Amino acid sequence: MYAIVNGLKLFYHKEGSGRPVILLHGNGEDHTIFDVAIRDLARSYTVYALDSRAHGKSDPVPSLTYREMAGDVAAFIRQQGLEKPALVGFSDGGVVALLVALRWPDLPGRLVVAGANMTPAGIKQPWRTLMRVQNRISPDPKLELMLTQPHLAGWQLTGITAPTLVLAGEKDLIDEGQTRRIARSIPGAKLLILPGETHGSYVVHSDKLYPAMANFLRG
């Protein structure tokens, strides 16, 4: 399915019935990384799995900002008439979910933020170095996005009012200090560091994501 959002054609997959849950993928990915989670969630929820701008089947754009991507999600929620959807964001999608909750606090009902960072420095140095080299060899707006954004401060995150679950892998490419700071900064947020997991091992085509957040989503 497609929705026209902020002048762009965004693809989304819809499945299931019940309270709405929106899935937001990471950089360079698309909604299909959530295939197993969609199957599990759709038994109890109406799932909307989006392809972000310049990703998957959605329209391309010459440059990317998390702010614009968050604006797309907010516009999609309003266009679809969704009431207090849960936002489940992985990696870049987690950053987008945080920004939606900050700029439009009336929209999300709950947040699950997995493998998100507050600043580019939250990506561990070896990975940032690799990204810089790749971007020099072959400039890519998606890499540029991760190397230059986001810029979130702890004091900003204190403004998030939606109940929040922060997830990360024990072996995540995101520095655990930033993960813990996100959880500390958001009032009442819960934190779960998953033993033995990497950045995406518990999310991408994985049956581990749903059990990690099932109780939280039920509220």
> What are the residue boundaries of the structural domains of the chain, listed by start?
2-212
Query: What φ, ψ does residue 208 adopt, rounded to 5°?
Result: -95, -20
C-alpha to C-alpha distance for 67 and 156, rounded to whole angstroms: 14
* Architecture of the domain spanning 2-212: 3-Layer(aba) Sandwich (3.40)
Helix axes 66-80, 92-103, angle to 10 degrees: 70
Order of strands, sheet of 164-169, starting from the edge strand that comes earlier in the sequence? 2-5, 8-16, 45-50, 19-24, 86-90, 110-114, 164-169, 190-194
Single-letter amino acid, residue 160? I
C-alpha to C-alpha distance for 158 and 204, rounded to whole angstroms: 29
Residue 219 has pLDDT above 90, yes or no: no
What average pLDDT does the structure give for the chain?
A: 98
Residue 25 has pLDDT above 90, yes or no: yes
User: Would you place residue 122 in the very low, low, confident or very high pLDDT band (cuts 50, 70, 90)?
Assistant: very high
% of the chain at pLDDT higher than 90: 100
User: Would you place residue 98 in the very low, low, confident or very high pLDDT band (cuts 50, 70, 90)?
Assistant: very high
Q: Is the separation of the CB atoms in 1 and 168 below 8 Å?
A: no
The whole-number pLDDT of residue 101 equals 98
C-alpha to C-alpha distance for 107 and 102, rounded to whole angstroms: 10
C-alpha to C-alpha distance for 150 and 153, rounded to whole angstroms: 10
The whole-number pLDDT of residue 61 equals 97
Q: Is the separation of the CB atoms in 47 and 15 below 8 Å?
A: yes
